[in-house]
Amino acid sequence: MKTLVVDDSRRAATSLAHIIDSVLSQGACEVALDSREALAKCRDTRFDVVFLDVEMPDANGFDVARELRVTSPSTNVVFVTGHSRYALDAWDTQASAFLVKPVDEDDVRKALSSLRNPIDPHYGRGLFVRCFGNFEVFYDSEPVCFERSKTKELLAYLLDRRGALVSMGELAAVLWEGLPDTPSRRSQLRTLISDLRRTFERLGLPDVIIKRRGCIAVRLTAAECDYYGFIHNMPSAVNSYNGEYMRQYSWAESTAALLEASKGGKRRG
């Protein structure tokens, strides 16, 4: 589990980080001393839990939490403050817990036992794809950066199709919804495909994308994926489903409806 403590007091931050490390059996807790450092770390690393001070000189902790909800929606936020009067505001930001200083090991254990967003046990080394909530891609626990947002969307659609070969015409219609399929558009699509293949080649994964004449697909065995785990009724994936699927893409709504329809039966089973 990757954790981050954000507090403008170095002494307080270090003390809480030591407590968290003593509670968790794996990983080392990182520390940030202001909101800018915290947000920069969260852009570079996917944290499971951020322990966030409310009152900091450069920013309000609630504002930082709201920004994290946008940039890293699966990250759990635990507020840590010396003032209990902030508790109601904390719940408005969909925080997992609210701790009042001084914090001890029991406080941390209780907070970690009731996280709003489940920690996926498959998240770790190798290629991991999160489809629930925002679509995100990780390699060895680090976010994969794409040169173009459309390249990332291309991968998302291929994963949504679950290994089926997809034609260039279908891809153009999905990625540029409502726009005509022109030679220029096909040229852009070829650039995206090349960009996607280069992205995986840089990671040492040259076989993720399968290319056939006029069609491409994604190799299903190349990555761990919460969506595929849900389909195969893996408990960790079923429990991690939060009612949202690739929410940044409108074309994903049909799959989201199917997931919602099957959710009840899977959880009863």
* Whether residue 145 is found in the same domain as residue 96: no
Q: What one-character DSSP code corresponds to residue 79?
A: E
Domain boundary among 113, 138, 166: 113
Q: What's the burial of 42, exposed, middle or buried (CB within 10 Å: 0-12/13-18/19+)?
A: buried
Q: Are residues 151 and 251 in the same domain?
A: yes
For 34-78, the DSSP string reads SHHHHHHHHHHS--SEEEEESEETTEEHHHHHHHHHHH-TT-EEE
Same domain, yes or no: 78 and 157: no
Residue numbers of the domain that contains 51: 3-113
CATH number of the domain that 213 lies in? 1.10.10.10
Residues 48 and 143 grouped into a single domain = no
Does one domain contain both 86 and 149?
A: no
How big, in percent rounded to 5, are the helix, strand and coil portions of the chain? 45, 20, 35
**253 lies in a domain?**
yes
Cα–Cα separations (whole angstroms), residue 132 to 24, 153, 253: 25, 15, 12
Task: For 143-189, write each residue's pLDDT tens digit.
Answer: 899 999 999 999 999 999 999 999 999 999 999 998 999 999 999 99
Q: Would residue 118 count as lying in a domain?
A: no
Name the band, by pLDDT with cuts 50, 70 and 90, for residue 269.
very low
3-class SS at 249? coil
| Band of residue 125 on the pLDDT scale cut at 50, 70, 90 | low
Distance, in Å, from the CA atom of 27 to the CA atom of 4, rounded to the nearest integer, reads: 11
Same domain, 213 and 255: yes
Same domain flag for 170 and 86: no
- Is the same domain home to 163 and 251? yes
Domain boundary among 78, 113, 148: 113
Task: Report the C-alpha gap between 115 and 3 in whole angstroms.
Answer: 13
Model confidence at 86, pLDDT cuts 50, 70, 90, reads low
String of DSSP letters for 184-195: HHHHHHHHHHHH
44 domain-assigned: yes
In a domain, 119, yes or no: no
Are 109 and 131 within one domain?
no
One-letter amino acid for residue 182 of the chain: T
Phi, psi for residue 101 in degrees, rounded to 5: -65, 150
Q: Residue 196: which pLDDT band, with cuts at 50, 70 and 90?
A: very high
Rounded to whole angstroms, the Cα distance separating 121 from 229 reads: 12
| Beta carbons within 8 Å of 265's beta carbon, 6+ residues apart | none
The 10s digit of each residue's pLDDT in 197-229 is 999 999 999 999 999 999 999 998 888 898 998
Which of these ranges, 110-124, 205-219, 234-248, has the smallest mean pLDDT?
Answer: 110-124
Residue 29 tokens read as 């807790």
* Cα–Cα dist 136/156, whole Å: 9
Q: 50 in a domain, yes or no?
A: yes
Number of domains into which the chain is organized: 2
Same structural domain, 88 and 148: no
- Residue 42 sits in a domain whose CATH number is 3.40.50.2300
E strand or H helix at 89: helix 87-92
pLDDT > 90 fraction of the chain, expressed in percent and rounded: 54
3-state SS assignment for residue 212: strand
Range with the poorest average pLDDT among 15-24, 92-101, 244-253: 92-101
Nearest in space to 131 (alpha carbons), one of 47, 266, 267, 223: 223
Q: Is 247 found in the same domain as 183?
A: yes
218 in any annotated domain: yes
Domain boundary among 53, 83, 113: 113
Q: Are residues 67 and 181 in the same domain?
A: no
